[in-house]
Amino acid sequence: MQRPVYLTREALDKLKSDLKRARSVERPRISQEIADARAHGDLSENAEYDAAKEAQGKLEARIAQMEATLASARLLDEAQVDTSKAFILSTVRVFNEQFGSEQSFKLVSTPEANIARGLISIKSPIGRGLLGKSVGDSVEVAVPAGTVRLRILEITRDGA
């Protein structure tokens, strides 16, 4: 059994929408591409057919992954997130001691991660380093570029 994947309402709705689109729009489109390529005759040297079959395989793998994620999804209630420690859905404001700058990160599940929006996965090195820590704690996190030392300045949650 797959481990639970914790998602916000927004992420769960997006996953359902993406899965519906993949099944009802992309799957029929690729099936039509395969049929069109098959109509061109000899399949042994038909690049269109090979490309369509490869796209079909990738789509089916993506659909299977979305179905598995949906099957193990657990909805998170942001109102229930404790702000005394950094947990999933917490926004953590930190001071980067190496660069002397502040940054804020919202800890989210892996499917919701988007570093450009300040959303980091709880499974990323920084996310794992911050989990369970309190305001005032300092953490050293091994990242690909070396070690980063962060001091937690504030922990909040949306609507708090």
42 burial class (0-12, 13-18, 19+ CB within 10 angstroms)?
Answer: exposed
Is it the case that residue 149 has pLDDT exceeding 90?
Answer: yes
Rounded to a whole number of angstroms, the CA Rg of the chain reads: 22
pLDDT in tens, 64-101: 999 998 998 888 776 666 668 898 888 999 999 888 99
The answer to whether the pTM exceeds 0.75 is: no
3-state SS class at 10: helix
pLDDT in tens, 109-126: 888 899 899 899 998 999
Q: For residue 29, what pLDDT is reported?
A: 95
